[in-house]
Amino acid sequence: MLASHDVIVAGAGPVGLFLACELALAGCTVLVLDKAATPDSPFKRLPFGLRGLTAPSIEALARRGLLDRLAIPQRLKTPFSAAASAAAPRQAGHFAGIPLDRDLVDTARWPYRLPAATPASLVAEMAELETVLAERAQALGVAIRRGCAVAGFVQDADGVTVSAGAGAGGDALRCAWLVGCDGARSAVRKAGGFDFAGTEPQFTGYSASVELVDADLLRPGRVQTPDGMYFQSQPGILALQDADGGAFHDAGRPVTRAHLEAVLRRISGTRVGIASVHLAATWTDRARQATRYRAGRVLLAGDAAHIHAPLGGQGLNLGLGDAMNLGWKLAAAVRGAAPPGLLDSYHAERHPVGARVLDWSRAQVALMRPDPHARALYAIVRDLLATRDGATTIAGRLWGISIQYELGGNHPLVGRSVPAFAFADGTTVDAALRPGRGLLLDFGHDAALPAVADAFHGRLAYLPVHARERLGLCALLVRPDGIVAWAGDGTPDLQALRQAAARWFGT
């Protein structure tokens, strides 16, 4: 059977859609299959669909011209800043519920974040993000089929046969590569026998929209109690954590009014009432990660590859980062142009980033436990977060600024996101990355550099630039995902540059 598509992506969530965009941008034919008949869900709209985006995701969207298409961050900006009183610290996220004060963060410690950098954090809405990504994917020629669940697959040396859709056995669809972006309960991960290793939950989390009776019995802000945590972010919008070891969520029972009221009363130690429940969902802090992200022609990305507590809002960011990292590499493999090891560098680079996020969420869960030992530790961490060093360290991880892939190389920029260079002609490095090609930025206008880029036949664009701030660099090699692959700060070492270019762009 001939492959009808280069890549089938299972799952039209944000990660699957962004990956499809990246693949199509690089010239692949892509089919996205999603189990749900419609993308609509109240959990994807505000307030439940609110998602914090961090620097790598914001940069990725900006580098593909998608950031400006999101209206929600701009719409929410005013109410959010207006809500903060002059006396209150300017909260820029939290760690285990401890607010992070933006004014304490010492941004001078991040010399590569130039003034033109996109914000390090902003809020988005899942529904809007998915709509923007789906429109972009379709504009690039991606086919999206909804109401069509992937049930399993068989792979051989040349491709993958995917069984999907309703009916007896469903359809058999053939592709060269399959990527599972089908969320936490990924059918691709299960069918592929991927090991999903990790830790069991400490609590059941609840997100609910309710009508409260005697709401003023609840204290404002995030309130930790001996039985868990409650937080009323807006009137009737509740987040609860019940230290039940995840038992209620795992039992799969519906969240009734009576149950939710009992949990809220127990956690808050009050007689607050719930008159009605408009919407409710549960989740846990179970933290698991696929031990490998690739098995032959099948790969995993997003929640399919890793799950953890939503504390501190990292899951979507982690998944978008997977997609940005994988897209151009898989596209090179589709073209048969991938240098040795390129596709496996996806796991090598992204698995450690995922493992750090899982530990980040575990650390928060440990601090939020209601027992006296955890409360004592919480008090110490809270004090540390009120210091400049503490706030800067936490912000660097929370906002994804400290991410650096281990690529070797002798410059501290290698493996990091390219600084937001602004050029004298009014363009930016983000705009130059929009076509999804690698860049050779030449700050010193070296006569030898155009030939280096030419050898890569269109995969690498040579760009002589006059940058307002060039950080002492003479030239920079940037991968299509915006990661610095080589940096020169004197006379360019042409041999090292050619080696780095061959490593990422082939010969």
Ligand X SMILES: Cc1cc2nc3c(=O)[nH]c(=O)nc-3n(C[C@H](O)[C@H](O)[C@H](O)COP(=O)(O)OP(=O)(O)OC[C@H]3O[C@@H](n4cnc5c(N)ncnc54)[C@H](O)[C@@H]3O)c2cc1C
Give contact residues for ligand X (rule: CB under 6 A): 10-16, 33-36, 51-52, 149-150, 181-183, 187, 207, 283, 302-303, 310, 313-317, 319
In whole angstroms, the minimum distance from the beta carbon of 21 to ligand X comes to 13
In whole angstroms, the minimum distance from the beta carbon of 423 to ligand X comes to 31
Q: Prior bond to 47 cis, omega within 30?
A: yes
Q: Which is nearer to ligand X, 51 or 470 (CB)?
A: 51
- Residues 6 or more apart whose Cβ sits within 8 Å of residue 498: 452, 455
Q: Which is nearer to ligand X, 317 or 393 (CB)?
A: 317
Quick check: 279 and 208 in contact, CB under 8 A? yes
Q: Which is nearer to ligand X, 16 or 159 (CB)?
A: 16
- Residues 6 or more apart whose Cβ sits within 8 Å of residue 376: none
- Residues 6 or more apart whose Cβ sits within 8 Å of residue 269: 225, 227
In whole angstroms, the minimum distance from the beta carbon of 300 to ligand X comes to 9
Q: Which is nearer to ligand X, 283 or 505 (CB)?
A: 283
The Cα–Cα gap between 115 and 422 comes to: 9
Tokens linked to 436: 């999804």
Q: Which is nearer to ligand X, 303 or 442 (CB)?
A: 303
Query: Which candidate, 135, 104, 102, places its Cα nearest to that of 121?
Result: 102
In whole angstroms, the minimum distance from the beta carbon of 302 to ligand X comes to 2
Quick check: 243 and 203 in contact, CB under 8 A? yes
Amino acid letter, residue 334 = V
Q: Which is nearer to ligand X, 159 or 319 (CB)?
A: 319
Q: Which is nearer to ligand X, 97 or 302 (CB)?
A: 302
Q: Which is nearer to ligand X, 36 or 461 (CB)?
A: 36
Q: Which is nearer to ligand X, 17 or 432 (CB)?
A: 17
Q: Which is nearer to ligand X, 65 or 152 (CB)?
A: 152
Question: If you ran DSSP here, which 8-state letter would residue 235 be given?
Answer: T
In whole angstroms, the minimum distance from the beta carbon of 103 to ligand X comes to 22
Quick check: 298 and 330 in contact, CB under 8 A? no
Tokens linked to 205: 């989390």
In whole angstroms, the minimum distance from the beta carbon of 206 to ligand X comes to 9
Query: Which candidate, 419, 431, 409, places its Cα nearest to that of 485?
Result: 409
- Secondary structure of 409-422 in the HEC alphabet? CCCCCCCCECCCCE
Quick check: 201 and 284 in contact, CB under 8 A? yes
The Cα–Cα gap between 397 and 109 comes to: 13
Quick check: 294 and 344 in contact, CB under 8 A? yes
The Cα–Cα gap between 498 and 152 comes to: 42
In whole angstroms, the minimum distance from the beta carbon of 58 to ligand X comes to 11
Q: Which is nearer to ligand X, 248 or 456 (CB)?
A: 248
In whole angstroms, the minimum distance from the beta carbon of 183 to ligand X comes to 3
Q: Which is nearer to ligand X, 327 or 419 (CB)?
A: 327
Instruction: Using CB positions, name the residue nearest to ligand X.
Output: 13
In whole angstroms, the minimum distance from the beta carbon of 123 to ligand X comes to 8
The Cα–Cα gap between 64 and 109 comes to: 28
The Cα–Cα gap between 473 and 492 comes to: 9
The Cα–Cα gap between 204 and 188 comes to: 26
- Residue 339: phi, psi to the nearest 5? -65, 160
Backbone torsion region of residue 355, taken as left when φ is above 0, otherwise alpha when ψ lies between -120 and 50, otherwise beta: alpha
In whole angstroms, the minimum distance from the beta carbon of 171 to ligand X comes to 12
In whole angstroms, the minimum distance from the beta carbon of 221 to ligand X comes to 18
The Cα–Cα gap between 368 and 370 comes to: 6
- Residues 6 or more apart whose Cβ sits within 8 Å of residue 185: none
Quick check: 321 and 315 in contact, CB under 8 A? no
DSSP bridge partners of 478: 439, 484
Q: Which is nearer to ligand X, 249 or 297 (CB)?
A: 249
In whole angstroms, the minimum distance from the beta carbon of 34 to ligand X comes to 4
In whole angstroms, the minimum distance from the beta carbon of 54 to ligand X comes to 7
